[in-house]
Structure 1
Amino acid sequence: MESSSSESSLNQQLEELQKQIEKKQRFEESVPAINSHLKLRYPSASPSLRKSFYSVVCRVATILKTRYTAPGFWLAGLRLFELSESLVSAPAEKDHLKNCISQAKKQRSLHYS
């Protein structure tokens, strides 16, 4: 189990990354950082930290749907959604992430068809 100070630090990092994805020029570097944290920390994270991860991933989905349409953004999002979907266990979260994956694939195919 993670120590609470370590979780608190990671929570702050996630909050910072969530702010960075709001800025178009920082999005493509921030999403892989979220991916990296997910891979390393999600499996041993507390339920509240898992909620924070899920919240940030959902924010990425919202930003993609409402603001950023470039294929590179959608590819970064797709990778994040696929990793997240493989890690979460709550059925509602899994379903939502499957929808995000489907939407990201559809967006990419629109750009490459």
Structure 2
Amino acid sequence: MERLTADAVWKFTNDPEEVTSSADPGVAAELEVAMAAQAIERTLMGIKTQQLDARTAMLDLERTQQLLAAGGRLSAAADVTQALDNLRSGDANAAGKSLIGTSLDLQRGKSGPADE
């Protein structure tokens, strides 16, 4: 096991602009992926419990698909597109299966930082 040491400087501020200007883009990208995984889970649960109609679920998934594609998560975006196609054809079961796998892969980091 290797041990590394480093000095850290913490700066506290109440200025929102200063906080956002120093945000790490890598951390922001990972946060977006985590939020996409949560959005997929919410949509999946809404479909399963019939609290979301197909139209609302498709709108949610389209937003999530765009977010994933913009973040370079092309395989996850393709899976969401497949789920959208399944919903359009009325096959909520197949859509659910696609979404479960995609959500788990995103949570586990299996889709990688960005698809090459």
TM-score by length of 2: 0.48
Structure with higher Rg: it is: 2
- Which is helix-richer, 1 or 2? 1
